[in-house]
Amino acid sequence: MNLAINSRDAMPSGGQVSIRVDKVNVDAVAAKCLPLWKDSQLSDSNRRPGDYKSPALTN
């Protein structure tokens, strides 16, 4: 919801925004390639392969 409101506010002259959520499968090789950030909840223990959701916002 916040994405839609922010998008509306960023286009005072109007426009079109598309919000999509795709299902992605992360395999074991790709999971090992995920970046780690300092002070992030993403750590070696939770970089697991599996099905995830990937949001995309376009205008």
Q: Residue 21: pLDDT band by 50, 70, 90 thresholds?
A: very high
At residue 4, the pLDDT reads 86
The per-residue pLDDT for range 22-47, each reduced to its tens digit, is 999 999 888 888 776 655 665 566 67
- Looking at the DSSP bridge assignments, the partners of residue 54 are 22
pTM above 0.75, yes or no: no
Write down the pLDDT at residue 24. Answer: 92
Listed by start position, the domains of the chain span 2-58
